[in-house]
Chains A and B, each alone.
Chain A
Amino acid sequence: MPQLASLLTITWPLPADASAHGPALDLHLFRNLWIALGLFALAHLLLLIGLLRSRRGNPYGDDRKHLWQIEYLPLTALALLFIFLTVQAERLWAAARYTGADPAALQIEVTGMQFAWYFRYPGVDATFGAIQPQLISAAEGNPLGIDPADSHGHDDFITSELVLPAGREVDLRLHAQDVIHGFAIPEMRLKQNAVPGETVHIHFTPVTPGTYAILCTQLCGTGHYRMNANLSVLTPAAFADWLATHEKVQR
């Protein structure tokens, strides 16, 4: 079965998968795609045979039995198939979204704005400082409007590249400054809109070190197509170094 699964994966053109929840999602996606392809072929085959084979009387007459055979039975089979797929999908969805992140997860805030992503790390105190929209000023070096009156914010630092350690869960809090943006990392099989006025938490665990694309997938204005960033997944040791440098710079 695992071999079969890997056989299925190589034939569909998805980008590499670098997250912990990704393989199960991919497997389920491929299962769905193959089923859809199978039903597509089956239905078209029936259509063609139905068109090409010669007429022999009225194949179904007035008989109620035919209604069962031709309609209700296949529908029941289809319903069972869909129930199976939905239950599988819901288990994955529940695992990903029904509960929040582990309390030990790395906390990072993601802000979308026309047309950039900003990532805020809470610093050594592990707490984000408050934000005042009136204070937002990229020119004055405060693109997120961090309130200087809140001491929690003093050690916060902001990056334009998301840097994460491999193998540790991360808890992202997403929001948007201006319009709705779509936070998506295809290689992490992750997507969630960032909505102004709301904070949405999503969590995931990157596993493979490397550089991945962060895209914007919700139409947000003229720069929508170029609103992207890099995600760097580092080994835990390299990440510790990176974090230490940034925290030192900040203090």
Chain B
Amino acid sequence: MNTITARKPFLRRYIFSTDHHVIGLQYLILALVAVAIGTTMSLLMRIHLVWPDLILPGHGPILPEDYLALVTLHGTMMLFFVLTTAPQSGFGNLILPAQIGSRTMAFPRLNATSFWLTAIALLTLLSSTLVQGGAAISGWTAYPPLSAVASAGPGQALGMDLWLASIVLFAVASTAASINTLVTIIKLRCDGMTWDRLPLTVWGWFTAALLSILAFSVLLAALVMLFADRHAGTSFFLPAGDLVSGTLHTGGNGSPLLWLQLFWFFGHPEVYIAILPGMGLTSMLLANFSRRRVFAYRTMILTTLLIGFLGILVWGHHMFVAGLNPFAGTAFSISTIAIALPAAAKVLSWLATIWRSRPQLTTPMLFALGFVSLFLTGGLTGPILAQPILDQYLHNTFFVVAHFHLIMAMAGVFGLFAGAYYWFPLLSASSKNPAGRIMSESLGRWHFWGSFLGAYATFLPMHITGLAGEPRHYAQLTGIPGSAAAHLLATGSIPLQKHITYGAIFLASAQMLFLWNLIRSTRRGEYAPENPWQATTLEWHPDLAPFAPPSASNETIAVHHAPCTYGDTSFLTQWSPGDKPE
């Protein structure tokens, strides 16, 4: 992305830029750093579970507090700094304005501020590994009193404060970014871009932004309350008489359950924020490479909104056995099962879109198909977990870890890969080479198959160890004191552990192909032809490309069609005035 567009100094052009393309790239680079660190951490966890005596060079053995810090950082980084950041803020900045026919985001300075807050948030989180006591150990959900009392464990003093500070910054940045997204979509659509002509990706970004504003503001309130409990003597989450490591809480009488309510009111929408843009992109890619319109386009818009709406009504399914009234469990069970229907409607539409279409199996298409498969597989265990009587057995076992890694982590990452391969020409565009480059298809295909098989090899067996009774957040499975517990683990889950770890190593290794492809293609990939995938959406409009020649930029951009209009052999872009596919 070397550019000669302006005579602005380097810093202003690349670092403190208000150009949404640059900001989008910055977000993607940040997410790439986070996913690399987060993956390394997950491998350390997996390796430790299988070879507990391994000595880490320069560190020593992995102690229980190290393991828990790894879980906490892995989960926090992956969810916030990868799956929220890359699709919503990364691709959202790079692609969204062009997809609606706009040349900018609504608030460029706010946009840059959001990015820098996010970057500081990531640094704050990472810095917590260096302080006394290490990083926080209470998981990405940070349940109090564990997270509210500094003496509750290693890392729960300064490490926990840094975690809180990091997430506060992130929440502020996300809220600002989401307002930006919403205003951009509502105000900056070009002529003819009616709501029912909006690409489904934009609907994904739109719904995710709505959810972000709602969810992150509640999280922000909860974080501030927790901060006050830790440092200002309040008792939102601490009951009277609570005794942690010899510290008796004699202040007011609060309840940890309040945190659970607030946290999950945020936490469940958060996973939809992470996945909705991927769902939108998948819909568009399946149609594009099948040369066919999206089956039931309007229903797809409706289900996106419905998933968003129901998404804020289901948080209690994380609390079936947390001490909630059992009747509330029933209500949340029903709302959760209900959300399976719009999700299933999406899967049906995807299947119908590609049905007997002989699609072109390009790398982005493969990843979109992988998204469908993983979303489906992970999704099928959702209704099981939504039944409180079954959750009373499965809650906090590896069955849950399997479920959310398939539906959220893997499907989410596949959505990101689909986006990266698909939009790479726009990502790599420069003023010298406005059409950009294209990533290597053969490397991409190897990368896809490695990731696809690796994802299943790693996460399918976790269902089995969960059913066999393996709880999550266990720093060790061997050498635990209780005879019955040791027996339970040894007969049930331990036999499969090595397999899972090999799967994870294989999965992570396959990502080297992506990194290699990325580096190689950026520097000497094939030049992309104009609109290389014969897409119909506006981001491929020659005037809207990231470094389009300024001469072209005076033309007004208008839209004449719904996206994904294809004839048997031809395609009709949204911006071409003709009323039939040629």
Chain A residues close to B by CB (< 8 Å):
12-15, 25, 28-29, 32-33, 36, 39-40, 43-44, 46-47, 49-51, 53-56, 58-60, 66-67, 70-71, 74-75, 78-79, 82, 85-86, 89-90, 92-94, 96-98, 114, 133-134, 136, 177-180, 182, 184, 186-187, 189-193, 195-198, 200, 211-226, 228-231
User: Which single member of A44, A98, A225 contacts B476 (CB below 8 Å)?
Assistant: A225
* Bound complex: CA A157 to CA B345 (Å): 57
* Bound complex: CA A36 to CA B388 (Å): 17
* Bound complex: CA A189 to CA B397 (Å): 13
Please state if B485 and A228 are interface contacts (CB–CB under 8 Å).
Answer: yes
Chain B positions 362-376 with a Cβ under 8 Å from a chain A Cβ: 369, 372-373, 376
Please state if A12 and B355 are interface contacts (CB–CB under 8 Å).
Answer: no
* Bound complex: CA A180 to CA B395 (Å): 15
Please state if B482 and A213 are interface contacts (CB–CB under 8 Å).
Answer: yes
Please state if B329 and A97 are interface contacts (CB–CB under 8 Å).
Answer: yes
Please state if A89 and B390 are interface contacts (CB–CB under 8 Å).
Answer: yes
Residues of A within 8 A of B224 (CB): none
* Bound complex: CA A90 to CA B330 (Å): 7
Residues of B within 8 A of A191 (CB): 321, 392-393, 395-396
With contacts A71-B296, A93-B329 taken as known, whether A190 is within 8 angstroms of B392 at the C-beta atoms is yes
Please state if A50 and B356 are interface contacts (CB–CB under 8 Å).
Answer: yes
- The 10 A-B residue pairs with the shortest CB-CB distance in the complex, in nearest-first order: A197-B239, A89-B387, A133-B241, A97-B326, A228-B482, A213-B484, A186-B469, A228-B485, A213-B485, A225-B474
With contacts A46-B351, A70-B352, A196-B145 taken as known, whether A231 is within 8 angstroms of B255 at the C-beta atoms is no
Flag whether B381 is at the interface (Cβ < 8 A): yes
Please state if B65 and A222 are interface contacts (CB–CB under 8 Å).
Answer: yes
Residues of B within 8 A of A218 (CB): 143, 396
With contacts A225-B64, A226-B481 taken as known, whether A89 is within 8 angstroms of B475 at the C-beta atoms is no
Type the 1/0 row for B334-377, where 1 means its CB is closer than 8 Å to any CB of A: 10010011001101110110111111000000000100110011
User: Which single member of A134, A222, A231 contacts B484 (CB below 8 Å)?
Assistant: A231
Please state if A13 and B255 are interface contacts (CB–CB under 8 Å).
Answer: no
Please state if A82 and B340 are interface contacts (CB–CB under 8 Å).
Answer: yes
Residues of B within 8 A of A55 (CB): 356-358
User: Which single member of B143, B327, B348, B358 contacts A74 (CB below 8 Å)?
Assistant: B348
Type the 1/0 row for B472-500, where 1 means its CB is closer than 8 Å to any CB of A: 11111100111111011001100000000
Say how far A100's CB is from chain B's closest CB, in angstroms: 11
Q: Residue on B with the closest CB to A98?
A: B326
Chain B positions 217-256 with a Cβ under 8 Å from a chain A Cβ: 239-245, 248, 253-256
25 A-B pairs whose Cβ atoms sit less than 8 Å apart in the complex: A13-B467, A15-B469, A15-B488, A32-B384, A32-B387, A36-B383, A43-B347, A46-B351, A47-B369, A50-B355, A50-B357, A55-B358, A67-B296, A74-B344, A78-B340, A98-B326, A177-B242, A178-B149, A180-B145, A195-B256, A197-B241, A217-B472, A222-B137, A225-B477, A231-B484
* Bound complex: CA A12 to CA B492 (Å): 11
Please state if A196 and B256 are interface contacts (CB–CB under 8 Å).
Answer: yes
* Bound complex: CA A49 to CA B358 (Å): 10
Please state if B322 and A195 are interface contacts (CB–CB under 8 Å).
Answer: yes
Size of B's binding interface in residues, CB under 8 A:
97
Residues of B within 8 A of A189 (CB): 392-393
Please state if B341 and A75 are interface contacts (CB–CB under 8 Å).
Answer: yes
Please state if A82 and B337 are interface contacts (CB–CB under 8 Å).
Answer: yes
Please state if A70 and B143 are interface contacts (CB–CB under 8 Å).
Answer: no
With contacts A40-B380, A86-B333, A226-B480 taken as known, whether A219 is within 8 angstroms of B138 at the C-beta atoms is yes
Q: Residue on B with the closest CB to A69?
A: B352
User: Which single member of B245, B348, B373, B482 contacts A71 (CB below 8 Å)?
Assistant: B348
Residues of A within 8 A of B262 (CB): none
Residues of A within 8 A of B492 (CB): 13, 15
Say how far A81's CB is from chain B's closest CB, in angstroms: 9
Residues of B within 8 A of A178 (CB): 145, 149, 152, 242-245
Say how far A150's CB is from chain B's closest CB, in angstroms: 16
Say how far B253's CB is from chain A's closest CB, in angstroms: 7
Residues of B within 8 A of A177 (CB): 242-243
User: Which single member of A79, A97, A230 contacts B341 (CB below 8 Å)?
Assistant: A79
* Bound complex: CA A67 to CA B299 (Å): 10
Flag whether B295 is at the interface (Cβ < 8 A): yes
Please state if B395 and A217 are interface contacts (CB–CB under 8 Å).
Answer: yes
Please state if B321 and A230 are interface contacts (CB–CB under 8 Å).
Answer: no
Flag whether B108 is at the interface (Cβ < 8 A): no
Flag whether B453 is at the interface (Cβ < 8 A): no
* Bound complex: CA A136 to CA B242 (Å): 11
Please state if B345 and A29 are interface contacts (CB–CB under 8 Å).
Answer: no
Type the 1/0 row for B390-432, where 1 means its CB is closer than 8 Å to any CB of A: 1011011100000000000000000000000000000000000
Residues of B within 8 A of A94 (CB): 326, 330
- The CB with the most chain B CB atoms within 10 A, among A36, A71, A94, A177, is that of A71
User: Which single member of B64, B372, B464 contacts A47 (CB below 8 Å)?
Assistant: B372
With contacts A89-B389, A179-B244, A222-B137 taken as known, whether A212 is within 8 angstroms of B323 at the C-beta atoms is no
Flag whether B68 is at the interface (Cβ < 8 A): yes
Please state if B356 and A53 are interface contacts (CB–CB under 8 Å).
Answer: yes
User: Which single member of B139, B296, B376 contacts A219 (CB below 8 Å)?
Assistant: B139
* Bound complex: CA A52 to CA B322 (Å): 47
